[in-house]
Structure 1
Amino acid sequence: MCQVDEEYNDQLDLTHVPSVSKKCVKCKEATAAVVIRAGDTYCRSCFKEFFVHKFRAMLGKNRIIFPGEKVLLAVSGGPSSCSMLSQVQEGLSQNAHKKLRFSPGIVFIDEGGAVGQSVEERRQTVVQLQAAFKATGFPFHIVPLEQVLDLPGSVVTTIPSSSERPAGAYKSAVGRFIQSDHTNGPAAQEPEETPLPDVQESQTESLQQLIRSAKTLTAREDLLNTLRQHLLVHTARTEGYSKLMLGDNCTRLAVKLLTSISLGRGAQLAQDTGFSDSRYGDIIIVRPMRDYSVKEVAYHNHMFDVASVFIPGLDTKTPDKASIQRLTESFVTKLQADFPSTVSTIYRTSEKLQTAGRSSSTAATDNHSGGRCLLCMCNLDTATNAENASAFKATLISEQLSQAKRPGATRCSSDTPRPNAGQRCSSGEAGDCGRTEGGGGCCSSSKTVETDDLKSLLCYSCQLTVKDMASLERLPQYILSEAQKRQRRSQMREEISEFLLEDGDEGD
């Protein structure tokens, strides 16, 4: 206990805080230029060697990109994607120690129309990135986001890969590539410059109406991410690329993992955050920057003059509680400042997640049976695929009870007149469909896609996004057309279900 008349005559001992080593932890000779973590100090040359080794080790360890394969680099202009572009450019140079063996291309999605940028602001951004892309010597494609409104329905279908590679094919492909490379030598190519497409004002207005139809910023960001990915996959398919390389870093994936859990995408975490994602079949998405933190990328870009372009997004200058994505990002970054192992712990957890592999025949069956989500193209975690004790089933029962107690709702019964024979209630369940008596009866024969009909084709997370939309009429036509096609196929299958053989009936 502290006493009033107590005297403190002894001098206080000073505690010496251990200082950071001023020598590089690798070469032990040069002066340290950067501190990544406590105890990890690197000089300039060793840090660059460490940074380059991470990138090439990630590609070499997974062995997904084969020699000579065409890879499309998705560059958004941010620090991480620009650093990825710099790594690829340096890895293909003549004096590279472990030279990369694929053929790269660049794609930039201009999202200025969705975030409300003026035509002049979008032109300035495109000019800056166009100059940087020309300096690399790679073919590049600048695609405005407005083109997502005119995509074909094949974007939301899984196309099986044309070639199945057997075990050991990677080593033999590397040997053939090295032999041909030494024989013929590298051929210099002029960068292919695609003309900038003209964007009509009506298309920009339609895109803005689509984004504004989502009531919350959370739904807008999720919808924008889905549309961007559809356009990237379509560009890769039309230009003949088999791999799509994204610049998601470790910090971004940690935020994405927690955000996905909050949005109900727990079943899709392995595909959303893993190194490779094969949900589209013929186009495989890879994330080679997933081992880098934001701090490492920032140090590398500053020390070696890797330029980036700031492009405002939907969440620019928004408060922390504006959306689930912003709140999660603020939580992770603030926690990382006090506990430096936060991001790495979340990232290592994501590495342990796995998804069940599916063959190309199973993927084709999923397309015809509607086994994949219409928007994110992941396996459905709803309807018959969900367990009875799952949170989704509890939410579904709660919605049905709420609709049953709503005043003015009518019950689907055999006495209710139906417009066409053989048509079922849009809800697909016996009981209240939630439509009033003045709305054309219990089962309306409208040709437009209703919300309940579309929800049956979506995973739980995408259902929440669609639920926040004011109107489904703003959705791109390729999504609505594919929804109607799946509904007709499902209805036809139901009509002939009694004539179909089950898996266990063939031997009877």
Structure 2
Amino acid sequence: MGLSRDAPKKLRFMPGIIYIDDGGACGRSPEERQRSVDQLKSIFTETGFPYFIVPLEQVFSLPTSVLVPGTSDPDPSNPSYKQAVDQYIKEKQKLTEEEAASAVAQLRIEESVCSPEHKLALERLFSSLNTLTAKEDMLQTLRQHLILHIARENGYSKVMMGDSCSRLAVKLLSNIALGRGAALASDTGFSDPRYGDVVIVRPMRDYSSKEIAAYSRMFHVPSVFISGLDTKTHDKASIQRLTESFVTNLQADFPSTVSTIYRTSEKLHTVMPSQGQTTEPASKCLLCLCALDTNVDKASAFHATLVSEQLSQVKLQDMSRDARCCAEGQGCGTGGCCSSNRSPEHQDLKTLLCYSCRLTIKDMGAVDALPPYIITEAEKRQKRSRMKMEISEYLLEDED
């Protein structure tokens, strides 16, 4: 409504709509995916805004620059920025209604066709994840990467998400259970500036899902139902599904449950990193791009968890080694079954991830099933880390 001609305060931006088709990860058939896309196209066309329909399989063709935080937006007080805005408004005013309608119709509409190789790669990626919790977390991460890439490619500096108050309340509790307590302010706040040049905003966070449903019904807002990963699953299928069931059932008996959880999330703030950490990609998680929460002292719960995990792995490795030796009847000499030939990919990748993303990767059967841009960026960061260790004695510290 703010873009209409009769609005007293016009909004000075050109919005676009993006839809990520995640049917390949959710097990939907090509016919179902095409039917949903056709319904959405008819709704998007009526809005008059440019829209982008992108399949999730396109993550396997993303560049590594997606995982590198960009520079922040220009300062609005800068005269050049104001001149650019004024020039944009003048150009828009020159168009008549017919010219504007034809210009919107001619705007690029992205409907990427995914290749069969990408479809197989996506199926392999999600089949390698052992739990539904890890699948939902990985799906959310890949969706964010794809939205970020499309926004940067088409010059959008803001992305408006449709997260309601009810969804954010569920997300807050489930993220705590998933170990994302350090990133709660970014995951549930109004503004999420972790990507630098593209800011994620959540303007619908003050409204509950019940209010949005009532508004949509009263004003006949068209909608399309699309099944997801957790559709028709039981309450204990995943941490996210269990938390949603818990909050929904509690909200039915105690109507202030969602608002209480939501008000708690408003009090959370992100700890601002130093200038050096802001520009250094290695200080960010490889997947979620949040600040790493694993650089803690030894007297911490995280360090105690790591020690316990290492001791358990050593014990399991010894037991499996003895079992193989006894079964195959061979010794444990060089080149035998006990030679350390196992791939260190999990361990190497963990150093680049936050605690929550470590748990997701831990549930993966094959790390090489990740999209190429993630593996390439991981190798790049590992090489830089090894190089930094080799020349560390020749580097000057900040205090020096």
Q: 2:307 is matched with which residue?
A: 397
SS of corresponding position for 2:236: helix
Deviates more, 1:128-137 or 1:180-189: 180-189
Kindly indicate whether residue 18 of structure 2 is the aligned counterpart of residue 107 of structure 1: yes
Give structure 2 stretches of 5+ with no counterpart. 320-333
Q: 2:139 is matched with which residue?
A: 224
Q: 1:80 is matched with which residue?
A: none
Kindly indicate whether residue 252 of structure 2 is the aligned counterpart of residue 341 of structure 1: no
Larger gyration radius, structure 1 or structure 2: 1
1:466 to 361, 367, 385: 361
CA apart distance, 1:325 = 0.3
Percent of matched pairs sharing the same residue: 57
Kindly indicate whether residue 104 of structure 2 is the aligned counterpart of residue 190 of structure 1: yes
1:97 to 1:394, Cα distance in 2 relative to 1, 3 A: same
* AA partner of residue 70 (structure 2): I
- Structure 1: how far apart are the matches of 2:362 and 2:261? 29
CA apart distance, 1:184 = 5.5
1:224 to 1:403, Cα distance in 2 relative to 1, 3 A: same
- Structure 2: how far apart are the matches of 1:234 and 1:475? 17
- Structure 1: how far apart are the matches of 2:62 and 2:131? 25
Q: 2:56 is matched with which residue?
A: 145
Q: Which has the higher helix share?
A: 2
1:375 to 271, 276, 287: 287
- Structure 2: how far apart are the matches of 1:291 and 1:387? 38
Q: Is the 8 A contact 1:373 1:457 kept in 2?
A: yes
Kindly indicate whether residue 6 of structure 2 is the aligned counterpart of residue 95 of structure 1: yes
- Structure 2: how far apart are the matches of 1:179 and 1:116? 45
Within 5 Å, give how 1:121-270 maps onto structure 2.
Answer: 121-161=32-72, 163-166=74-77, 188=100, 189-191=103-105, 192-194=107-109, 196-270=111-185
SS of corresponding position for 2:146: helix
Kindly indicate whether residue 398 of structure 2 is the aligned counterpart of residue 503 of structure 1: yes
- Structure 2: how far apart are the matches of 1:338 and 1:400? 44
SS of corresponding position for 1:143: strand
- Structure 2: how far apart are the matches of 1:183 and 1:193? 21
Summarize deviations over 1:357-394 as a string: whole Å, max 9, x none.
347764212x1xx1110000000011xx2233332111
- Structure 1: how far apart are the matches of 2:337 and 2:195? 39
Summarize deviations over 1:178-210 as a string: whole Å, max 9, x none.
985997588724232525322333322221111
CA apart distance, 1:165 = 4.0
Summarize deviations over 1:405-441 as a string: whole Å, max 9, x none.
34549xxxxxxxxxxxxxxxxxxxxxxxxxx974795
- Structure 2: how far apart are the matches of 1:397 and 1:154? 34
1:407 to 1:458, Cα distance in 2 relative to 1, 3 A: closer
- Structure 2: how far apart are the matches of 1:126 and 1:458? 34
Q: Is the 8 A contact 2:24 2:57 kept in 1?
A: yes
Q: 1:489 is matched with which residue?
A: 384
- Structure 2: how far apart are the matches of 1:169 and 1:480? 39
CA apart distance, 1:163 = 2.2
Kindly indicate whether residue 262 of structure 2 is the aligned counterpart of residue 352 of structure 1: no
1:181 to 1:346, Cα distance in 2 relative to 1, 3 A: farther
- Structure 1: how far apart are the matches of 2:248 and 2:90? 48
Q: Is the 8 A contact 2:277 2:283 kept in 1?
A: no
1:401 to 1:111, Cα distance in 2 relative to 1, 3 A: same
* AA partner of residue 373 (structure 2): Y
2:297 to 364, 387, 395: 387
Kindly indicate whether residue 217 of structure 2 is the aligned counterpart of residue 329 of structure 1: no
SS of corresponding position for 1:223: helix
1:480 to 1:179, Cα distance in 2 relative to 1, 3 A: closer
1:179 to 1:463, Cα distance in 2 relative to 1, 3 A: closer
Q: TM-score, normalised by structure 2?
A: 0.88
CA apart distance, 1:400 = 2.0
1:213 to 1:97, Cα distance in 2 relative to 1, 3 A: same
C-alpha RMSD of the superposition: 2.7
- Structure 2: how far apart are the matches of 1:457 and 1:153? 15
* AA partner of residue 22 (structure 2): E
* AA partner of residue 300 (structure 2): S
- Structure 2: how far apart are the matches of 1:495 and 1:480? 23
CA apart distance, 1:278 = 1.1
Q: Is the 8 A contact 1:160 1:363 kept in 2?
A: no
- Structure 2: how far apart are the matches of 1:145 and 1:178? 33
CA apart distance, 1:305 = 0.4
Q: 2:197 is matched with which residue?
A: 282
Q: 1:476 is matched with which residue?
A: 371
* AA partner of residue 405 (structure 1): K
SS of corresponding position for 1:103: coil
The count of residues paired between Structure 1 and Structure 2 equals 381
Q: TM-score, normalised by structure 1?
A: 0.70
- Structure 2: how far apart are the matches of 1:407 and 1:185? 71
- Structure 2: how far apart are the matches of 1:208 and 1:215? 13
1:196 to 1:406, Cα distance in 2 relative to 1, 3 A: closer
Within 5 Å, give how 1:445-456 maps onto structure 2.
Answer: 450-456=345-351
Summarize deviations over 1:221-277 as a string: whole Å, max 9, x none.
000000010000011111111111111010000000000000000000000001111
CA apart distance, 1:356 = 2.3
CA apart distance, 1:173 = 8.6
* AA partner of residue 451 (structure 1): H
* AA partner of residue 374 (structure 1): L
- Structure 2: how far apart are the matches of 1:193 and 1:178? 19
1:233 to 1:340, Cα distance in 2 relative to 1, 3 A: same
SS of corresponding position for 2:15: strand
CA apart distance, 1:92 = 1.5
SS of corresponding position for 2:210: helix
